[in-house]
Amino acid sequence: MRQSQLFTKTRRDAPKDEVAKNAQLLIRGGFIHKEMAGVYSYLPLGLRVLKNIERIIREEMDAVGGQEILMTTLQDPAPWKKTGRWSDDVVDNWFKTRLSEDSELGLGHSHEEPLVQIMRDHVSSYRDFPKAVYQIQTKFRRELRSKSGILRGREFVMKDMYSFVRTQEELDEFHEQVAAAYMRIFERAGIGERTFRTFASGGSFSRFSDEFQTLCDAGEDTIYLDREAKLAVNKEVHTPDVLEELGLKKDSLEEAKAIEVGNIFKLGTRFSEPLGLTFKDEKGEERPVIMGCYGIGLGRVMGTVVESLADEKGVVWPEEIAPFRVHLLALSGGNRDVVAEADRMYDLLHEHGISVLYDDRDVRAGEKFADAELIGIPTRLVVSEKTVAEGGVEATTRTDGTTTFVSESGIIEHLAG
């Protein structure tokens, strides 16, 4: 991508109505556009980041046996009424619409009910299990608090997976597989070191649920963590009995603010029983299918990366989710040799499969450097009269600002390392 062709522009200042750091930086960098409170469009740079997060999640869900589908956003009230969740008194964040023929539809905020309806048509025997089905889809929730940028939206992209098993043992086993996969996702997204598996309330579903909480001062949750054990407890269940049950010692726990980036629940038969999802066991007896659910908000992961890793200059993207691997800057000052060398470098990187944003704009060097810091691509390569004369480029790492001179013949090796 040549930056001169990018329709988005960076901004010096963030909108005055944005208080969240993630929204301020992502809007200034040209990653997202605010449509209204809690609703954002993803622009070219932002969409590349979102798609990279999606790729990581898809790879890890496939690795544990997940099968991807895509369900409808429009929701028929019928199955939701059977589980009691159509009522606003039970689920208070529905978006609903009444049609001209006086029927009512909802916009999906979750998909347990419709997926159970689908599974009823395809599974009936104990031989059909276990199964795990997931989708990556836009969800809608009528959030009353929408001041956290893309951390808490009214319209957002989420991966929701649901497992269907025969026994509690199978559910427990798969739950642990997904928990490990989630930690791999957050590691690959660059926030693994600061993300903790966190015991939280299971609500009406189970004794506990598992949240995945990333340490950040902007977090809405308070957790108590044991860094050595890599475990934490949400404040809502932080009691002596719970700590004893989990084998955690109060004196070894550290209080911290955190952002919830994912959660997994053991649903049991909460949805299968009212919707009639059953199977015949080896003896031919009818049994309800046991379920689990596993959610990650893609935008929330993206916003958490910004909130927790950005510095005073701008965003700092981890390599695997960055919009581009390299930000190439041509500081030509009208020198055609510099432009020619930068063009050649752009082609070289492209030929080796290295994604690159090429700042070929006719603007001052200071503006190019400031924009590069704001956009936050992992490696910056600078071509100038000086580097052309010396036969290489200046390479700067965004995370720590380390700058080294790399010879022309060693550029690809340097990036590979």
- C-beta separation of 105 from 293 below 8 A: no
Question: Residue 224, SS3?
Answer: strand
> Sign (positive/negative) of CA torsion 245, 176, 164, 125?
negative
| HSE (side-chain half, CA atoms, 13 Å) at 62 | 9
pLDDT of residue 305: 98
pLDDT digits (tens, 9 = 90+) for 227-251: 988 999 999 999 999 999 999 999 9
Find residue 366's DSSP bridge partners: none
Domain with CATH 3.30.930.10 in the chain: 3-309
Alpha-carbon span 344 to 324, nearest angstrom: 18
pLDDT of residue 169: 97
Which amino acid, 258? A
| HSE (side-chain half, CA atoms, 13 Å) at 239 | 7
Pure H helices in 310-354: 336-351
Alpha-carbon span 410 to 109, nearest angstrom: 50
Alpha-carbon span 80 to 275, nearest angstrom: 9
% of the chain surpassing 90 pLDDT = 91
- C-beta separation of 153 from 143 below 8 A: yes
- C-beta separation of 189 from 310 below 8 A: no
Which residues of 273-317 form beta strands (DSSP E)? Answer: 278-280, 286-288, 290-297
Alpha-carbon span 181 to 79, nearest angstrom: 31
Domain with CATH 3.40.50.800 in the chain: 326-416
Which amino acid, 412? I
pLDDT of residue 275: 97
Reply yes or no on whether the pLDDT at 14 is more than 90. no
Which amino acid, 115? L
As a CATH number, domain 326-416 is 3.40.50.800
Reply yes or no on whether the pLDDT at 165 is more than 80. yes
- C-beta separation of 135 from 266 below 8 A: no
Q: What is the mean pLDDT of residues 307-317?
A: 97
Reply yes or no on whether the pLDDT at 145 is more than 80. no
**What is the reported pTM?**
0.96
411: left (phi over 0), alpha (psi -120 to 50) or beta: alpha
Q: From the CA atom positions of the chain, what is the Rg in Å?
A: 25
pLDDT digits (tens, 9 = 90+) for 60-93: 999 999 999 999 999 999 999 999 999 999 999 9
pLDDT of residue 416: 87
**Tokens read off for 359:** 């700042």
Average per-residue pLDDT for the chain: 95
Reply yes or no on whether the pLDDT at 146 is more than 80. no
**Phi and psi (nearest 5°) for 347?**
-65, -40
pLDDT of residue 206: 78
pLDDT range class, residue 134, cuts 50, 70, 90:
very high
Q: Which long-range contacts (CB under 8 A, 24 or more apart) does 26-34 make?
A: 26/149, 26/150, 26/303, 26/306, 26/315, 28/314, 28/374, 29/314, 29/315, 29/374, 29/375, 29/376, 30/6, 30/375, 31/315, 31/323, 32/150
Q: What is the mean pLDDT of residues 125-145?
A: 94
Pure H helices in 121-234: 168-188
pLDDT of residue 307: 97
Which amino acid, 235? K
Reply yes or no on whether the pLDDT at 205 is more than 80. no
Reply yes or no on whether the pLDDT at 168 is more than 80. yes
Alpha-carbon span 339 to 51, nearest angstrom: 31
As a CATH number, domain 3-309 is 3.30.930.10
Residue keyed to tokens 């989990």: 246
The total of other beta-carbon atoms located within 10 Å of residue 279's CB is: 22
pLDDT digits (tens, 9 = 90+) for 178-192: 999 999 999 999 999
Pairing of strands 221-226, 231-234: antiparallel
% of the chain surpassing 70 pLDDT = 100
Reply yes or no on whether the pLDDT at 203 is more than 80. no
pLDDT digits (tens, 9 = 90+) for 347-388: 999 999 999 999 999 999 999 999 999 999 999 999 999 999
**Phi and psi (nearest 5°) for 237?**
-120, 15
